[in-house]
Structure 1
Amino acid sequence: MFDPTAFDNLKTVLEGTIYDRDLDGTISILNRADVIDIATLNRSYSVIFQSAPKEIEAEMSLKADLKKLAVELLPSESGEQNKFAGAVISITYRKKGTAWDAQELEIFNKQWGQERCWELRTISSNRHEPICEMTIQFDRTITEDMLRDVEEMVYYTIETADLLGSRKKQ
């Protein structure tokens, strides 16, 4: 019988929590991607959604590479399953414009903590309005023992998008 990998279980919790919020009308899912790269044996899952204010898009991404899969599937010398089997998660917020203002950055810092690793990007195009992004990276592997944390991340992601969206209306 097939035993799901840590990535499969984390993806199921992430996907289920987000789709439950879509069903109850809290968010609207805009897109999703579930990709297996055959050349590198990397897996990724991402889902993009908007909360009620609709000015802010959020994307939650889950990624696992061959090393994480191998750690999980190949027996260790001690016979224990490696605690590093799992995936990494990142969250990207997007809005129209060229920059996040000081109040928006304060919301990010308050919600996610100042010590969190993040990256700001502006995407310019001659066909569309500029878009700015904030990607929050988590510097640790998310394991199956942290399934509750994945659910909480979804709620925090939605709450942050709501705060950013409602701030624009003030």
Structure 2
Amino acid sequence: MFDPTTFDNLKVILEGYVYDLDLDNVIVVTDRSDLVNLATMSRSFSISFKLPIENPTPTVKIQLEMIHEQLSGELLGKLEHPGCRVKIKIYEVKESSSIDEILVERLKRIWGKSYDLKLYVTQQIPENRFHHQYSLETLMLVLEVDGEILLNMVEYAMDSIKLLSQE
């Protein structure tokens, strides 16, 4: 019988919650990826979603990763508490490269001090559109017992895209 890893269990929690929200028409899932990287012997799962409205809205991508040391440590029984990293990216396209500092501060308040928030702005030529990417990364490993933290991240992500959609 297959013994699921911490990664597998956290993935099921995240994926199930997001798809339940999609079924309830709270969000729309736009992409999903489930990868095993044989070069680094790591696992990665990501799911992307947006608000179910007609206007273009920001898109969120939540990525769950388990690196080699965590995965092998768990499988070999050498780690007592294996965990995963979580990265969140929020993408939006704007007509301007300007950064709203108040908006960035509001996003920091939503996510709190446990997440490192970075903003990247790139220009698309010749359309002269600007791609804003808000990147958040957990400063701690998410353990199997921390499934509720993943649910909170989905809620924070939905709050973030609602805030960005109000601009």
The TM-score with structure 2 as length reference comes to: 0.89
Pairwise CA RMSD of aligned residues?
1.7
Say if 1:107 and 1:164, in contact at 8 Å, map to a contact too.
no
Structure 1 counterpart of 2:89: 92
2:29 aligned with 1:29: yes
Q: Secondary structure at the match of 2:147?
A: helix
**55-64 vs 108-117, greater mean Cα deviation:** 108-117
Where in structure 1 do 4 or more consecutive aligned residues deviate above 3 Å? Answer: none
2:91 and 2:77 map into 1 onto residues whose CA distance is 41
Q: Deviations over 1:57-105 (max 9, x none)?
A: 11101011110111211133xxxx511x121001111111234412321
Structure 2 counterpart of 1:151: 151
1:159 and 1:55 map into 2 onto residues whose CA distance is 13
| Ranges in structure 1 where 5+ consecutive residues have no aligned partner | none
Q: Secondary structure at the match of 1:63?
A: strand
Aligned with 2:64 (options 56, 62, 65): 62
1:117 shift after superposition? 1.2
1:100 and 1:20 map into 2 onto residues whose CA distance is 34
1:34 and 1:123 map into 2 onto residues whose CA distance is 27
Q: Deviations over 1:36-65 (max 9, x none)?
A: 111111111111111245421111010111
Say if 1:118 and 1:136, in contact at 8 Å, map to a contact too.
yes
Say if 2:7 and 2:84, in contact at 8 Å, map to a contact too.
yes
Structure 2 counterpart of 1:3: 3
Equivalent residues in 2 for 1:5-154, closer than 5 Å: 5-52=5-52, 54-76=56-78, 81-83=79-81, 85-97=82-94, 98-114=97-113, 116-126=115-125, 129-154=129-154
2:114 and 2:10 map into 1 onto residues whose CA distance is 25
Aligned residues: 162
1:99 and 1:4 map into 2 onto residues whose CA distance is 45
| Ranges in structure 2 where 5+ consecutive residues have no aligned partner | none
Q: Secondary structure at the match of 2:10?
A: helix
1:116 and 1:99 map into 2 onto residues whose CA distance is 23
Q: Deviations over 1:99-151 (max 9, x none)?
A: 44123212211101256312211232326532110111111110101011111
Q: Deviations over 1:3-56 (max 9, x none)?
A: 000000001111111111111011111111111111111111111111245421
Taking a change above 3 Å as real, the CA distance of residues 115 and 153 of structure 1, as seen in their structure-2 partners, is: closer
**53-62 vs 142-151, greater mean Cα deviation:** 53-62
Say if 2:27 and 2:49, in contact at 8 Å, map to a contact too.
yes
Say if 2:114 and 2:139, in contact at 8 Å, map to a contact too.
no
Say if 2:48 and 2:60, in contact at 8 Å, map to a contact too.
yes
Amino acid at match of 1:11: K
Say if 2:60 and 2:90, in contact at 8 Å, map to a contact too.
yes
